[in-house]
Amino acid sequence: MAKHRPTIADVALAAGVSKGLVSFALNDRPGVSAMTRERILAAADELGWRPSLRARSLSTDRAFALGLVIARDPQIIAADPFFPALIAGIETALAPVGQALVLSMVVSEQAELASYRQLAAHDRVDGVIITDLRQDDPRLALALELGLQAVTLGHPDAPSPFPAVALDDDPGIRSTVDHLVGLGHRRIAHVAGPARMLHGSRRRNSFASALELRGLHGDLIVETDFSASDGARATAELLALADPPTAIVYSNDPMAIAGMGVAQRAGLHIPDDLSITGFDDSDVGQYLNPSLTTVTTAAQEWGRTAASALLRLIEGDDVADIELAPARLVIRGSSASPPPRTPATAR
């Protein structure tokens, strides 16, 4: 004799009213007398009734869930502190209101779009948080086509139908460059993320323009896929130059850590021979030798804000773009003045 969980009909029976009225009472709708409402809520409470999300979903055409699709190689995500923090932030916004996060992690861009289509086809989510914006990002049009609400993490490079929740990287990069130039560096390189990714190219642009503002060349840039191994490769390339940089600004921490290792193995002393800075402020950074100068971003806050903005959007509210506190430089041990003289006859 399995004891079924109580339904709205049980509550209605117990309270001596109709199903419909229970629904009204539950949803705080007018047309229920205060006394009856009390009685209904008491009965519901007594029976331990929780409305079935499935039934609600079917009749109201809502999923009560948000989607997040991450399209990166697991190895890259693994090293990146950004996503866990983002997800934790999203969770803090969703849990209190009974919403859920549907997560999809895919490798190719192909699979990514398919993943959005599947989320929509199955009505899994009411909206999606679009992260890792790319140039001319196809996901905006896709979300629109699929009837999904969305917020973007950062501003797209074209007019967007969706609100953006943005955290400006520029001040982080800019103050990193200023910090290095202030230390006396003149030849500074940047190990960038993929140019197709907007935050990759924006950090690159910030880097270049910050250097040019100081009258220096901002063209020593190597593009990578954000992976530690590609960061290592980029570092090796830079150090092999006839006139190698005295400082390298990495666009994430894992690459900076890998780069530090590569430089050290090449016999360089960090930071005396080479300054290194990261981006994202991973936990390990502060325990490295030397500790890592990096840029910190409030990823968790970003997730929380994006999720709650998306919820409001789904509710039908108007949501304007939101700017969060910008990225901020954290100076630690991996950056110092450059070696006194750069021998012209490097090899």
Residues that bind its own copies (CB under 8 A): 50, 52-55, 57-58, 63-65, 74-85, 87-88, 91, 95, 98, 100-107, 111, 115, 118-119, 121-124, 227-229, 231-232, 254, 257-262, 264-265, 282-284, 286-291, 300
Span from 30-38, 132-140, 155-163, 259-267 in contact with DNA (CB under 7 A): 30-38
Cβ nearer to DNA, comparing 54 with 341: 54
What DSSP line would sit under 221-253, residue for residue?
Answer: EEE--S-HHHHHHHHHHHHTSSS--SEEEESSH
Q: Which does 7 bind (CB under 5 to 8 A by kind): its own copies, DNA, none?
A: DNA
Q: Which amino acid is at 188?
A: I
Cross-strand partners of 165 = 153, 322
**Angle separating helix axes 198-213 and 170-183, nearest 10 degrees:** 40
DSSP 189: E
Cβ nearer to DNA, comparing 215 with 316: 316
Q: Which does 47 bind (CB under 5 to 8 A by kind): DNA, its own copies, none?
A: none
Cβ nearer to its own copies, comparing 211 with 256: 256
Using CB under 7 A as the binding rule, whether residue 59 contacts DNA is answered as yes
Would you state the structure tokens that stand for residue 238, as one six-digit string? 């830079």
Among 55, 95, 195, 241, binds DNA (CB under 7 A): 55
Supply the minimum distance, in Å, between the C-beta of residue 61 and its own copies: 8
Using CB under 7 A as the binding rule, whether residue 286 contacts DNA is answered as no
Using CB under 7 A as the binding rule, whether residue 38 contacts DNA is answered as no
Among 1, 3, 28, 35, binds DNA (CB under 7 A): 35
Cβ nearer to DNA, comparing 26 with 146: 26
Q: What are the backbone angles phi and psi of residue 69, rounded to the nearest 5°?
A: -110, 125
Using CB under 7 A as the binding rule, whether residue 20 contacts DNA is answered as yes
Cα gap 102→118, rounded to integer Å: 12
**Angle separating helix axes 228-239 and 253-265, nearest 10 degrees:** 40
Q: Which does 289 bind (CB under 5 to 8 A by kind): DNA, its own copies, none?
A: its own copies
The contacts of residue 101 (CB under 8 Å, 6+ apart) are 65, 66, 67, 68, 87, 90, 91, 94
Cα gap 261→180, rounded to integer Å: 20
- From the list 83, 297, 74, the residue with the least C-alpha distance to 176 is 297
Supply the minimum distance, in Å, between the C-beta of residue 185 and its own copies: 22
Handedness of CA 86, 88, 89, 90 (dihedral sign): positive
Peptide bond into 271 cis (omega under 30): yes
Cβ nearer to its own copies, comparing 64 with 157: 64
**Chain centre to alpha carbon of residue 79:** 14
The contacts of residue 87 (CB under 8 Å, 6+ apart) are 68, 101, 103, 303
Supply the minimum distance, in Å, between the C-beta of residue 226 and its own copies: 11
Supply the minimum distance, in Å, between the C-beta of residue 285 and its own copies: 9
Q: Which does 17 bind (CB under 5 to 8 A by kind): DNA, its own copies, none?
A: DNA
Which stretches of the chain bind DNA, using CB under 7 A?
Answer: 4-5, 7-9, 16-24, 26-27, 30-33, 35-36, 49-52, 54-56, 58-61
